[in-house]
Amino acid sequence: MTTLDLLRLRRGLRDLLAPCDRPGSPGASIGVLREDQLLAHESAGLASLELAVPIGPETCFRIASVSKQFTCAAILLLAREGKLNVADDIRAHLPELPDFGATVTLAHCMRNSSGLRDMLELMRLAGVGLAEPTTAADLLAAVRRQGSLNFPPGSRFLYSNTGFMLLGLVVERASGQPLAEFLRQHLFAPAGMTRTRHTPSLAEPVPGLAGAYLPDAGGGFRRAQHGFALGGEGGVVSGVEDLALWTAWLSRHPWLDAALQAQAPFPDGSLNPYAHGVEVRPWRGLRTVSHGGLWPGFKTCFLRVPARQLAVMVMANHAGLDAHHLAHQALALALAGDAGLAPPLPAGLERLAGRWLAEDGAVNLDLAVAADGTPTVTQHGVPFALEAAPDGRLAARRAALAFALEPRGDGLVLHADAGHALTLRRAPAEVALPAGLRGHFHCQELDTDWTVLDRGATLQVLVQGPIRHAGPWLLEPIAPDLLRLHVPGDAWQGWFDVTVRRNAEGAAMALVVHGARAREQVFSRLG
C-alpha cells in the first residue's frame, strides 16, 4: 500500500467507527493486518463509561467464541505429541459423559458436527439466562442429562458450544494442566500475546479489560451482566494487537494453520464450512477464514483472507454494533480497487419481506429489507443480514450459520448444511390459539417442568428447572399447532419453535421444542 492508500484506509476505518465517537458511548477497535505489518488500528468510544476511560491500543475484550480456535489448536498440539487422537471417542477422555447412542469424536466436536445439543440453549430452556450465576458443574450436568443428539455425528453442521466446553476438559485431562495454563505456555507466550489470557472465572480481574454494555430503551447504555463459567468454548480475553501477533505466529507454523483450516466432507460429498474452530467461507469471490464472538455486551470478528495475506480484527464492547459487518466493511476498504472482488447484493429484494415457514413447520423466519437494500433474517429471535453468494443465492453474513436463500417463483428455497434444502412458503396472516394446551408438561432430558397458562387472548409458560424458575414467557401462534416461545435475555430476545404433538383424538400430548442449536426436546404432558 502507498502512503495515500494507508491514509484512505485509516480514514475509512474512522468513518466506520463514527457512531461510537460521541460522549457516553462504548465503542470498538478495528485492526487491519497485511503480512507482518499492522496497517491500521483505529478505536472509538469508551472502555469504561463509569470512569470515562477511552478505548485504546492496549484495551482488551472478551472475544467469546473466537476462543474456539485456540482450544482446537491445543487439541492439535496434543495430537502431534501423541497424547490423544482427534478420532478418539470423547467418552474415552471424559468417561462421566452418558452414552449418546452414537460415537462422538474429538474431531466431530472441533468441526461442530457432533450433534451435541448446545448447553447454553439447554440452560435457557430450563429457565437460566446468561446473566445468572452458573458454574461449570451446572453446565456439565445439563449435558450429562442428554440421552440423544440433534443428528448422527458427522452428518450435519450445527454450532454447539457444548463440544468446545468438553474439548477444553479434554485438554486438561490429556495435558495435566488447567486449560488457561496450557494455552498460555504453548500458544500465547510463544506468540508474544502478553495481553491474552483464558479466564474461567468472570470475577477474575483482567488488566485493560473493557466493560461490556447493552443499549437501553432510553438511548443510553447499561452494564451487561455475565454469570456463566467459561471454558474451551469462549473464555479468552485479548486485543487487536495480540490477534495480529497470533496471525503472524500461525504464518510461521504452517502445519498448524493448515490443520485449523482443514475441512471435512459430509456424507453427500459437500464440505463442512466449519473446519477446526474456524469457518471457511467465500466472500465476494475470495476464500475467507473467520470466526465471530458474542457474549453479553461484547462482539468480535476475526477475519482472514489467506490469498491476500490480510486479516481484520474487530472487537466491541457495544452490543448494538455488528462486528461481523464492520469487519467485512473494513476488508472492502483494504481491498479497494481489487479487480478480483465480486459485486455486492442485487437490487429489488423488497418483495421477499415477510414471514416464511417450511411446509412441515420445521423452520420459520421473518425477513425484512432495510432502506439500503440489505435483507435481514430473524430466526429464533436472532437477526442476521444476508449477502450475495457466488451461486446467486443470499447467504447469511452471520458467522457460524449454514443458511442461504434462493428465490424461486413465489417462494423461497432454504439451503442449509450437508446438501439439505427446504421449500418455504409465506406464513398465514392470522392464526388462532391452538386448543387444549393448558396444563403441565415435563422434559426428562432437561429435568424441567413447563406449565402452560391460558390467559384467554394469549398463552404463557412458567418454567421450573433444576436450578431456578422463570417466566411467564409468551407463546405466540404463527401457524396451526406451531408457536414461538419468546424468551427474554440480556444478549438477545430469542424464541424457541414449539410444535404440538396430538393423539388420534386430537388431544395435545406433547410439546416438541426446537432451538437454533438444540433440537427436539420433548415435553410430555403430565397426568
What integer pLDDT is reported at residue 491 of this predicted model? Answer: 67
Closest alpha carbon to 63 in 278, 277, 237, 209? 237
| Residue of higher predicted confidence among 454 and 347 | 454
From CA 83, how far away is CA 78, in angstroms rounded? 5
Work out the mean pLDDT of the chain and round it to a whole number.
94
What integer pLDDT is reported at residue 388 of this predicted model? Answer: 87
% pLDDT > 70, the chain: 99
What integer pLDDT is reported at residue 347 of this predicted model? Answer: 81
| Residue of higher predicted confidence among 2 and 405 | 405
Per-residue pLDDT tens over the stretch 306-321: 999 999 999 999 999 9
Kindly list the distances between the CA atom of residue 433 and the CA atoms of 55, 144, 483, in Å, as whole numbers in the listed order.
50, 35, 9
| Residue of higher predicted confidence among 97 and 362 | 97
Report DSSP state, residue 121.
H
Cell of 89: 471417542
Give residues with Cβ within 8 angstroms of 218, minimum separation 6.
none
What is the CATH number assigned to the segment(s) 62-115+150-334?
3.40.710.10
Pick the CATH number of 349-426 from 1.10.3470.10, 2.40.128.50, 3.40.50.1970, 3.40.50.720: 2.40.128.50
Question: Please, where in the chain does CATH 2.40.128.50 lie?
Answer: 349-426, 439-525
Pick the CATH number of 439-525 from 3.40.50.1860, 3.40.50.300, 2.40.128.50, 2.40.30.10: 2.40.128.50
Question: Please, where in the chain does CATH 3.40.710.10 lie?
Answer: 62-115+150-334
Answer yes or no: pTM beyond 0.75: yes
Region 429-448 average pLDDT = 96
Region 459-475 average pLDDT = 96
What integer pLDDT is reported at residue 493 of this predicted model? Answer: 82
